[in-house]
Amino acid sequence: MNFIVQTSYLLAAVLFILGLKAMSSPKTARRGIVWAGVGMVLATLVTFVHPAVHGVTNYTLIIIAIAVSGVLAWWSGRRVAMTGMPQMVALYNGMGGGAAAAIAAVEMLRALRTLPEDLQTQAQALAESAGLSLAAAEAALLAEGAEPASIATALGGDVAILGILGALIGTVAFSGSLVAWAKLDGRMQRNRLVPGQQFVNVAVFALAVLFGVMTYFTDSLAVVVAFFAFGLLFGVFMAVPIGGADMPVVISLFNALTGLAVGFEGYVLGNPAMIIAGTVVGAAGTLLTQLMAKAMNRSLANVLFSGFGAAPQSSAEGPEGEMKDVSPEDAGYMLAYAERVVIVPGYGMAVAQAQHKIWELVELLQDKGVEVKFAIHPVAGRMPGHMNVLLAEAGVPYDMIFDMEDINEEFATTDVAVVIGANDVVNPAAEEEPDSPIYGMPILKVKDAENVLVIKRGRGAGFSGVENKLFFADNTRMVFGDGQKVAAGMVQAVKNL
């Protein structure tokens, strides 16, 4: 039976890897999700015949957990809007980190229950029975190879170390992801909990590490509880100061942490599927975090500790010029008479739920012979791939969607670039103003297009709080209003021609 279990775990791990590989492309992402799902079902079902699982109580608890979590996931998955996907990802990611931390907690509690009497108690008994002093009895026990009782002696040194590391990372990912969910969902607006937040963060992290080291050597439940408490507190303190502009990177980072925590706890349980899947997710999440930080020309430390985008950037002088607006009808006429159009979507399009109207507009333009493409910035939206999913939901073919490095050179030969709901990722200040907070961040070169239409609700700055020079450029026209209504106005204008 053990051979069947281990083989099934290995097969599940292979399915996880193949699924993750397929998720790297929008064309194969759906297939990847199915493969990974099949792997998870296999890993779950084979647990019922695992030699270590026995007793009616354990089987009952497993079935109840699967039923409750399955129903909740199915219910929430069907209800969530595409604009709410980043929040859901943050929430589910937190659950993964919490589960890994819970595994570590259970193993530590089990170890504490099975610890032999501590060395002092044994020495006391020996001193009374043999007529020795307490010091002589303790020395005799140590000479015979007795060790002070601790979690490390109960679990083994390697298991204890990885269990503690997994617990620390898992608790941080759990509480940090919950804060990210609250901020993305608009339930938390605060960017500081205490004065000198960053210094407090360092102190809390140091305490979490200190109690983690103490947990290795201890037989005290209080030390273990303090370790988990400081880990949870650090996750909260770490996520609170981070601004909205950095949330895609932070979500990716917490995803990587959750993967690593699951991998470590897989070693604790001796579960190869957890080890392989957790390691793959941790490695992929780490790589994605680095790529996204690079796409913003920021270091990970700067993302975590600068509070970028948490508050509007002060600026004594705004961009020169003034915004020039046009009506949706005039914007529609401009598009209808263009030869090449590039559309740049951002999170504002998702909020307005305008992707379906935009696709209707594109189909009308294509009927008139206009060549239309979509340009996606690496950090567009609030999580990696968010814009791709939104466009796919509206029916946009994948071959019309281009990454930044593949389309940037084409803006110079584009008649009209349409920016809907995007801001910082098209701001020329990132290339032209060394003093700008976003200087050095790669951008979509929308400014090079012959004409630019910007669909926007108001005149405010983006997530970074930096004024956008593009909006004041001579070749830019602002189309103010709700994205969906503006797109509908453009559609009607094109139909009337």
Per-residue pLDDT, 340: 96
d(CA 450, CA 376): 19
Query: For the sheet containing 416-420, what is the strand order?
Result: 401-403, 371-376, 340-345, 416-420, 451-456, 476-480
Per-residue pLDDT, 424: 85
Per-residue pLDDT, 128: 80
d(CA 337, CA 364): 12
Q: How many CB atoms lie within 10 A of CB 428?
A: 18
Give yes or no for a contact between 483 and 421, defined as CB atoms under 8 angstroms apart: yes
Give yes or no for a contact between 463 and 428, defined as CB atoms under 8 angstroms apart: no
List the chain domain ranges. Answer: 1-79, 85-114+149-310, 328-496
DSSP 8-state symbol, 245: G
Per-residue pLDDT, 59: 92
d(CA 248, CA 381): 8
- Angle between helical axes of 483-496 and 328-336 (0-180°, round to 10): 50
- Compute the half-sphere exposure of residue 284: CA atoms within 13 Å on the CB side of its CA: 20
Low-confidence ranges of the chain (pLDDT < 50): 314-316
Alpha carbon distances (Å) from 350 to 180, 338, 355, 418, 480:
19, 25, 7, 15, 16
Q: One of 158, 330, 415, 424 is an active-site residue; which one?
A: 424
118 as an active site residue: the answer is no
3-state secondary structure 338-401: CCEEEEEECHHHHHHCCHHHHHHHHHHHHHCCCEEEEEECCCCCCCCCHHHHHHHHHCCCHHHE
Report which of 92, 5, 104, 90 is spatially closest to residue 46, judged by C-alpha positions.
5
The class (CATH top level) of 328-496 is alpha beta
Indicate the pTM of the whole model: 0.76
- Longest alpha-carbon distance in the chain: 108
Task: With H, G, I as helix, E, B as strand and everything else as coil, classify residue 455.
Answer: strand
Burial of 130 (0-12, 13-18, 19+ CB in 10 A): exposed
Per-residue pLDDT, 82: 73
Q: How many CB atoms lie within 10 A of CB 431?
A: 17
Alpha carbon distances (Å) from 90 to 182, 193, 290, 333:
9, 21, 18, 41
